[in-house]
Structure 1
Amino acid sequence: MSAAPPPRAAGWRAWLASDTPASRHQAALGRAYRRWRRFAGNPLSLFGLAILLLLVVFAAFGPLVAPHDPLQQVLSDRLLPPGSASHWLGTDQLGRDILSRLIYGARITLSIAILVVVVVVPIGLLIGTVAGFFGGWIDTLLMRVTDIALAFPKIVLALAFAAAVGPGVINAVIAISITAWPAYARLARAETLRLVDADFIHVARLQGASRTRLLLRYIVPLCSSSVIVRATLDMAGIILTVAGLGFLGLGAQPPSPEWGYMVASGRNVLLNAWWVATLPGCAILAVSLAFNLLGDGLRDVFDPRHGD
């Protein structure tokens, strides 16, 4: 039996960074520790993570954090500039508090982005790994379907679908998902082709592992890290697409405080009340930038050229 790790912080770090782990549990914790240190060594990635954690807090505790009801209209407070005691970021044309609407809008934006990833990543991962693992006519059929989906411009196809089925959050999720899965399928297929001829796959096959076990036990988990990094980097594009649909009236519907719709509603008073449209636009920019920074950090962490 291995001795328990020392309680001191230095002892914990030495135990986690050990090159000769005494158990599988220590090896797993050590790998996670080394990955975190590599991620924390990039200040920009930490900055992106901090912004996203703040977004999650706003989305989870919006009713407790928001100073006002985001739907409450006070016409006597119309178009108040930022800096007032009761409305820190000002108000819009109907006297609604912009800060409260931004906080509640974070919940809508994050929910749509997460729903898209939850739908798209499993579909793309399944299609790509099956095509790369089995090859032959299965690979040809699945990749030709993927090529057809890639041939359509993403934003045009999303707009066409959303316009055809009608506006709404669920329809926006479906519209974006239809256009987003082919890139993950291509990536998963490329990773699978790299792994399918690896020595450990041949060893597992000689030991009697079935095709299903090889695919689900070895191929899919090893492809997941690359797909997750790609999903993190794509979150910025997804958020911009969500905002674009909201701006055109095809996403979340008024009076919902969706950021894209807030930008659209403020464009008519842009010269007289710049904050109505500019502040939601800054929120979209900040969150998109945060996801890009986080994705860059995760890509460095999961880069196979770096040892664990």
Structure 2
Amino acid sequence: MLADFRAWALDDLATSRRQAAWGRRYRIWLALKANPLAMIGLFIIVLCVLLAFLAPLLAPYDPAIQDLENRLARPSADHLLGTDELGRDILSRLLYGGRITLGIVVAVVVMVAPVGLAVGTIAGYFGGWVDKTLMRLTDVFLAFPRLILALAFVAALNPGVQSAILAIALTAWPPYARIARAETLTVRNSEFIEAVAMTGASPWRIILRHVAPLCVPSLVVRVTLDMASIIITAASLGFLGMGAQPPSPEWGAMIATAKRFILDQWWVALSPCIAILLVSLAFNFLGDGLRDVLDPKQD
């Protein structure tokens, strides 16, 4: 059956739009599959998502249960990654913390990608005062470092996961808008866009049905590469006490409480640090692979 699908998808003489679409997707997958680092990144991401999703089944202990008699215990058969200053199992907290950290990443991407795409395509297609107004607004957000601006937003709100998501989202959309605008400027005067306009299609329909889909591949690459930055920003907010609040097992918050023991009880801080490093590196590997596949113009 796989051989039949392969032959059907790779047929150069596609007989339907569905066959052409699936053929393009399959070719992208084959190109991505040929990149070892991208596949390593994809494997790590899928593994982390599965571990976070199955945390209630895989975690050996309740992440909030305290056992003061076993506080700061070294890694052992009972606690594979040791325990923290309150005797809580680090492995269990790491698994549940993945739910919070990856949940923040997904929530931010779902919020900012459509906003950036909409702002960029509208500015690029209409031009004039619309373009100037939207791009100056984008420049205002780009003028501040993301973490500093996120801290300012969280300080104005109540610290917590919801505030962290909103703050990161408010600071993460400008690069997407810039990319979408640049892509729109390259296609808005194309012959097929003019042909669609001559059929009587409204500007909004042209943007939604014809311009925006052409911007999606570049946006997907940027989103994938930006996920590492979002993870680090979320962990930084948690480390500074502006993100997830105790006793939530968020990775940045875990590092914040473990920094006092980093010299003597190194295992308390090491595990969340490695988790952040691996996931961030995996998204960078996958993003580089997607860039090579979806945007071959870049070297």
Match of 2:69 among 71, 76, 79: 76
Establish whether residue 168 from structure 1 lines up as the match of residue 166 from structure 2.
Answer: no
Indicate the residue corresponding to 2:209 in structure 1.
217
Aligned-partner residue type, residue 78 of structure 1:
R
Establish whether residue 130 from structure 1 lines up as the match of residue 122 from structure 2.
Answer: yes
Alignment: residue pair count: 298
Indicate the residue corresponding to 1:52 in structure 2.
45
- Any idea what SS the aligned residue of 1:120 has? helix
Deviation digits for residues 186-238 of structure 1, max 9, x if unmatched?
11110100110111101111222221111111011111221121011000000
Indicate the residue corresponding to 2:15 in structure 1.
22
Aligned-partner residue type, residue 179 of structure 2:
L
Q: How does 1:244-255 map to 2 (within 5 A)?
A: 244-255=236-247
Indicate the residue corresponding to 2:104 in structure 1.
112
TM-score by length of 2: 0.96
Determine the C-alpha separation between the residues in 1 that align with 2:77 and 2:271: 18
Determine the C-alpha separation between the residues in 2 that align with 1:74 and 1:90: 12
Deviation digits for residues 121-170 of structure 1, max 9, x if unmatched?
11111111100000111111111111111111211111122122121001
Establish whether residue 145 from structure 1 lines up as the match of residue 108 from structure 2.
Answer: no
Establish whether residue 293 from structure 1 lines up as the match of residue 249 from structure 2.
Answer: no
Q: How does 1:225-304 map to 2 (within 5 A)?
A: 225-303=217-295
Question: What's the Cα RMSD here?
Answer: 1.3
Aligned-partner residue type, residue 171 of structure 1:
S
Q: How does 1:200-215 map to 2 (within 5 A)?
A: 200-215=192-207
Establish whether residue 85 from structure 1 lines up as the match of residue 77 from structure 2.
Answer: yes
Determine the C-alpha separation between the residues in 1 that align with 2:47 and 2:3: 30
Aligned-partner residue type, residue 157 of structure 1:
L
Determine the C-alpha separation between the residues in 2 that align with 1:227 and 1:305: 15
- Any idea what SS the aligned residue of 1:271 has? coil
Please, which runs of 5 or more residues in structure 1 have no aligned partner? 1-6
Aligned-partner residue type, residue 62 of structure 2:
D
1:178 Cα deviation after fit: 1.5
Aligned-partner residue type, residue 81 of structure 1:
R
TM-score by length of 1: 0.94
- Any idea what SS the aligned residue of 1:13 has? helix
1:25 Cα deviation after fit: 2.3
1:102 Cα deviation after fit: 0.4
Q: State, as a whole percentage, how many aligned pairs show the same letter.
A: 58
Determine the C-alpha separation between the residues in 2 that align with 1:110 and 1:177: 14
Determine the C-alpha separation between the residues in 2 that align with 1:303 and 1:268: 45
Indicate the residue corresponding to 2:170 in structure 1.
178
Determine the C-alpha separation between the residues in 1 that align with 2:235 and 2:4: 48
Match of 1:40 among 33, 44, 54: 33
Aligned-partner residue type, residue 262 of structure 2:
L
Determine the C-alpha separation between the residues in 1 that align with 2:18 and 2:130: 39
Determine the C-alpha separation between the residues in 2 that align with 1:268 and 1:182: 37
1:11 Cα deviation after fit: 4.1
1:35 Cα deviation after fit: 0.6
Contact 2:217 2:295 in 1 (8 A): no
Determine the C-alpha separation between the residues in 2 that align with 1:23 and 1:177: 39
